[in-house]
Structure 1
Amino acid sequence: MTDHRIERRTPETPVQQRVSSPADAISVNPSEGPFRDDLERIRFSPYFSRLAAVTQVVSPGALGNVITNRLTHTIKVTAVARAIAMRIRRGPDSALAQQLGGVDPVVVQAAASAHDLGHPPFGHLGERILDRIARSRFDLADGFEGNAQTFRILTQLDVHGTAPSGLNLTTAVRAAVLKYPWARFGVPQPHPSTLDPTPKGAGVGADGVGSGKFSAYLPDVAELTQVLAGYPGRAEFRQTVECSVMDVADDIAYSLHDLDDFHRAGVLQHASVAAEFRAWQRHRAELAGATAGELHTQERRPGRRLELLRRRLRDKDGWIFDEDVFAVAVARVADDLVDGLLAAPYDSSMDAERALEAFTGSWINHLQESVTITANPNPRSAFVALNRQAWHEVAVLKFVHQRFVLDRPDLAMFQRGQAELLANLVAALDSWLADPDDAGRIPRRLVDLVDLATGAYTRLAAEQPELLVAPSGERSTSPDAIRRLGRGRGIIDYVASLSDEEAVRAGSTLTGAGGLSWTAP
């Protein structure tokens, strides 16, 4: 292990480590190492506890206790990631992993435990809404992104002992959460969004500016640059080995565990899923000859959406896509999911639970065994990734989740209301901060976050003013512009740190609809 991997932003003595927080009390044995300290700092964080009350697909409690929340998803990702790391470390590719930067199972667990800390209320919907509001209301050109928010929490917003900001994690753990190691635009140069092909996630976002996925906001790019400097041999735009283990574990867990939940809840219906798969298999050649317009017009008819998935994978990732492998993946998911798990309705019996456990367990084992490590992967891949067959299978499993859960109109109705609630909450907090007669009573946490962000933008204006541009392209370095950016980022940080229920309660209270006029201590 090289020294750069255990470096922290602020050096700590053993005594400081032992007394600085409850998390450090868990790892008082020096032989356990700094990575174990990092893991416990993340697990003891209130941001980590909050994940129990944050949406994974639907809000916690919406369908009873069977639904995965962000915390249970995180725990599952951590278990899968550790298993993959141990398999690499004990297998024939151990030496290669060390040459590429190292694969410590505890670093992988820490990254997996942290990977969703930045998710705002209402999950991916909340991401999209806060991104739009940040750019349109506050001129924050890099908007909001859950991965960048995670990095910001770990390095700026959370607290640990006497460290000036953040959890003061080691270089290895900070690097392992950088799934998309660049800013939305500007850093590094050339920016990955301008490359052909673009790295995974670096494609232009919905607004046409910069990358759709990124891991650091502009005020945090200095930290991003410093962390990546600890890996001088890393190919530019490439995740570290430990980060790629976390990322592939996230894919595996996401593709399976939500299917568990919605089978238990009766949402996944055998007839509709079977019709989609069987129609594509029977009419594969005919569907391949249809125009894109015909498919979109008829997309409610069975088989059409699966054909659209085939074309999207082919066009976006032709480097790995294969027609025959895709057909085999469809057949395998159809056999195991349609003719296997969904063929018998879930009735909460022990036999039903055994069937569900067998389905999930066999797929997790299969996908974990399908993980490979490569010294020179495709620009759209990573050091650690699924092999070709498993990559197609995960894409098909995710399709089932998207088509038969996320696209349901009843879920969309809830999400429309949640989007409106977030927009109103941000507007109400912005109005309160601007009120000269009542701003002194704003929550102290919000004041701290605004002050922290304003200081960061002030430093950025002095050190890298070329990065401070508004969505319109105009420079944003005047004192008024800096204050506006700081207030906007602080409000977004504050709202993003709420649970689903806290967001609902705050939005209701600030609009005068709350039932209580006083909160409990």
Structure 2
Amino acid sequence: MQDLRTRRRDDAAEAASSRSDLADNPFRADRDRIVVSPFFARLGGVTQVVSAAGSGLLHNRLTHSLKVAQVAGVISDRLLASADSAELLGKLGGLDRDVAEAASLAHDLGHPPFGHLGEQVLDRIARHRFGLADGFEGNAQTFRILTTTDVRGPSAVGLDLTAAVRAAVLKYPWARLHRPDPHPSTMPNPPRGAAEPADAPGTGSSKFSAYSTELEDVAQAREPYAGVIEPWQQTVEASVMDTADDIAYAIHDLQDFHRIGVLQYAPVATELGQWLANAVELAGLDDATLASQTRRPGRSLEQLRRRMHVRDSWIVDDDAFAEAVARVRAELVDGLLATGFDGSIEAEQAIAAFSDRWTNRLVGGVVVLESPTSRSGHVTLRTAQWHEVQVLKFVHRRFVLLRPELALHQRGQASLVTTLVDALDSWLGDRDEESRLPRRLHDLVELSHAEFAELAGSAPELLVGATGEPVAGADAIRGLARGRAVIDFVSSLTDRQAVSLLEALSGRSSQPWSDSFVL
């Protein structure tokens, strides 16, 4: 098992790579390769929730990834320190701290400019404009960077990572449509992310970790785990990364918006307090009445409780939910938000204490399950902590993500991404200017064309358009390649690079040189 886990993508390059890596441990060498990649460095300029715009008060994708890796390392150490857990982990394919940390550092590499908003826009454009059935997905883009578009590995195709690290990055270890067969979207209770979006039937899983062009890499990475875990299950190290991501997201984004004054005491206290005071009455409302009253305090939280019953009946517990709401009310609302952030030492200490206390509590609730439900990985949270994470994430969504001011800001960003794709696609279609394309974009077109041409010969069933029709013919393949290349190029930009590149393409910039083409 260990030899297969340390197998690299390109065995022929192994000798050369081992001479160039500073670390002797292959998993630690992978972690180092990820850290020195410019795709990792660019995360410092990519939105986590809202653009940091140079502020030291908001997380970006880089600082988030570093904290996820930190949490993943602690989880790994705690699980391996328990003899019972360590034995079970060995039976499930193994847990190595360096692998979990490497996957955590890499897990957001594929996020495009402007965070999840950019992801949604690029997916829509990829499917509807370019006819790419795979569309765009940040997790799949991460795997594509690690195995294909980053050129810092010894074979100049991807980073040439070990099988264990590549498998650990596969948070959703399936393609949008075709693999594995049977596809997890057809399961009676699909894994998280595997189900099709309710508003887009026939488009495949809403979340997935590989495009059709990278399925061979998925198969090789997952080979060591055949017969050990199900094809649709995360590896243990992927599960550690996923759990660490949930913990970091639940805590750190709340701190950010407390710091900048967005997360206010009164509305959060009222929502949680009203639900706690009227839980029995709210539980008696029919769904239609509840939906019509969502602006009234306590109703949104009751809707969350009901959604949890539908989606996660394997763990949801009303008593645990009520206790989680009470704990969040006491520690977040009455403890942290009750005193506004004023930049003082006392305020910073309060945030640090809140973060430490919650991180320790949630990490302390991590357990290993031998036979988890399809909705959970082998590494998950105990019932109490699982409910607390759901409530913390609810507060973030309800009182930050759904704010009208953020929606206004994001509509502008969506328009920017759309216009930028249009401008680059137009440039690609201009034969008079084709020779002056950014070299990176030109190379990505050639790479994508080679990939789609190979698929047409080796696995034509994977080569379908966005509506599921077979794609054949040189022109159709060139069209797919052009679309994928533009999406690859735009998704590799930082927020600032996307803005400056559009300014240059639209004639609003007076500067002839730009760093927007480097990736």
Q: Shorter-chain TM-score: what band?
A: over 0.9
Q: What's the counterpart of residue 300 of structure 1?
A: 295
1:11 corresponds to which letter in structure 2? D
Aligned pairs for 1:144-223 (under 5 A) are 144-205=136-197, 206-208=199-201, 209-223=203-217
2:11 corresponds to which letter in structure 1? P
Q: Post-superposition shift, 1:78?
A: 0.4
Q: What's the counterpart of residue 126 of structure 2?
A: 134
Alignment partners' CA distance in 2, 1:387 and 1:440 = 58
Aligned pairs for 1:10-159 (under 5 A) are 10-11=10-11, 16-17=16-17, 20=20, 24=21, 26-27=22-23, 30=24, 33-61=25-53, 64-92=55-83, 93-159=85-151
Q: Deviations over 1:233-260 (max 9, x none)?
A: 2222100001100100000000000111
Aligned pairs for 1:297-376 (under 5 A) are 297-376=292-371
Q: What's the counterpart of residue 383 of structure 2?
A: 388
Alignment partners' CA distance in 2, 1:317 and 1:155 = 33
Aligned to 1:477, the other structure's residue is in SS state coil
2:5 corresponds to which letter in structure 1? R
Alignment partners' CA distance in 2, 1:372 and 1:366 = 13
Question: CA, structure 1 residues 397+405, in 2 after alignment: closer, same or farther (shift >3 Å)?
Answer: same
Aligned to 2:380, the other structure's residue is in SS state strand
Alignment partners' CA distance in 2, 1:386 and 1:327 = 17
8 A contact 2:17–2:154 mirrored in 1: no
Alignment partners' CA distance in 2, 1:109 and 1:473 = 38
8 A contact 2:444–2:485 mirrored in 1: yes
Alignment partners' CA distance in 2, 1:5 and 1:163 = 19
1:200 corresponds to which letter in structure 2? R
Question: CA, structure 1 residues 386+35, in 2 after alignment: closer, same or farther (shift >3 Å)?
Answer: same
Q: What's the counterpart of residue 261 of structure 2?
A: 266
Q: Post-superposition shift, 1:160?
A: 2.4
1:488 correspondence with 2:480:
no
Q: Post-superposition shift, 1:19?
A: 5.4
TM-score of the superposition, structure 1-length normalised? Answer: 0.96
Alignment partners' CA distance in 2, 1:395 and 1:337 = 14
TM-score of the superposition, structure 2-length normalised? Answer: 0.96
Aligned to 1:339, the other structure's residue is in SS state helix
After the TM superposition, which of the residue ranges 143-152 and 349-358 deviates more from structure 2?
349-358
Q: Post-superposition shift, 1:454?
A: 1.0
Return the match for 2:421 from 412, 423, 426: 426
Alignment partners' CA distance in 2, 1:168 and 1:65 = 34
Return the match for 1:227 from 221, 237, 244: 221
Alignment partners' CA distance in 1, 2:324 and 2:14 = 52
Aligned to 1:66, the other structure's residue is in SS state coil
Alignment partners' CA distance in 2, 1:515 and 1:285 = 63
Q: Deviations over 1:61-91 (max 9, x none)?
A: 27x3200000000010000000000111111
For the aligned residues, what is the CA RMSD? 1.5
Mind listing any 5+ residue stretches in structure 1 that lack a counterpart? none
Q: Post-superposition shift, 1:13?
A: 7.0
Aligned to 2:224, the other structure's residue is in SS state coil
Alignment partners' CA distance in 1, 2:14 and 2:500 = 42
Q: Post-superposition shift, 1:513?
A: 2.1
Tell me how many residue pairs correspond in the alignment.
512
Mind listing any 5+ residue stretches in structure 2 that lack a counterpart? none
Aligned to 2:34, the other structure's residue is in SS state helix
Q: Post-superposition shift, 1:164?
A: 4.0
Alignment partners' CA distance in 2, 1:385 and 1:319 = 13
Q: What's the counterpart of residue 468 of structure 1?
A: 463
Q: What's the counterpart of residue 510 of structure 1?
A: 505
